[in-house]
């Protein structure tokens, strides 16, 4: 006997498989997927990724030949972030908000600084595109950052191997 077919999701019903049936926001799931993809990509590039035991402001630590780098991952799954001219990512941070009685209240937006991490990895989760940028190269006064398809930071995993 065939299983009953599930009705296609409408816009209001659309949900990520990870967040389906859960109370945490979709944005947190997108961030966690981006960190997991970055973790996998680091291993593929023979760079050891480590997770901090507690949330201390960055997502991963990389180790390569005794060189440690703090990594902040910024992820997106937004399709309008991609144009023929490149991709755009948000460069501000929203700390996880609070949830009371099933209602989520986001915390105010804050900007990063070069002291928050050594390297930023910008990843489009669906397209599996990575931009690896040293903090010293970022303009933290801007709210968004855009990358052209031929950016020198595309798959620049060598940044994590430099002392």
CA–CA distance from 138 to each of 14, 30, 129, 151 (Å)?
A: 35, 22, 18, 14
Residues 6+ apart with CB under 8 A from 62: 42, 47, 48, 49, 50, 68, 69, 71, 119, 160
CA distance 109 to 113: 13
Please say if the pLDDT value at position 39 is more than 70. yes
What local confidence, expressed as pLDDT, does residue 58 receive? 92
Tokens representing 122? 């910008």
pTM of the complete model beyond 0.85: no
More confident residue, 106 or 121: 121
The helix (H) or strand (E) run that includes residue 31 is helix 26-44
| pLDDT tens profile 62-88 | 999 988 999 999 998 887 767 777 788
The DSSP secondary-structure symbol of 154 reads B
């Amino acid at each position: 006997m065939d299983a009953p077919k599930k009705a296609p999701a409408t816009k209001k019903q659309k949900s990520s498989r990870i967040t389906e049936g859960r109370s945490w926001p979709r944005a947190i799931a997108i961030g966690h997927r981006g960190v997991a993809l970055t973790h996998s990509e680091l291993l593929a590039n023979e760079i050891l990724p480590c997770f901090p035991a507690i949330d201390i402001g960055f997502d991963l630590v990389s180790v390569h030949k005794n060189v440690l780098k703090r990594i902040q991952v910024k992820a997106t799954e937004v399709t309008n972030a991609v144009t023929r001219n490149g991709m755009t990512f948000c460069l501000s941070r929203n700390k996880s908000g609070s949830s009371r009685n099933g209602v989520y209240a986001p915390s105010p937006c804050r900007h990063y600084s070069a002291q928050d991490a050594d390297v930023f990895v910008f990843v489009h989760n669906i397209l599996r595109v990575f931009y690896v940028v040293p903090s010293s190269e970022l303009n933290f006064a801007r709210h968004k950052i855009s990358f052209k398809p031929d950016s020198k930071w595309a798959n620049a995993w060598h940044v994590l191997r430099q002392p």
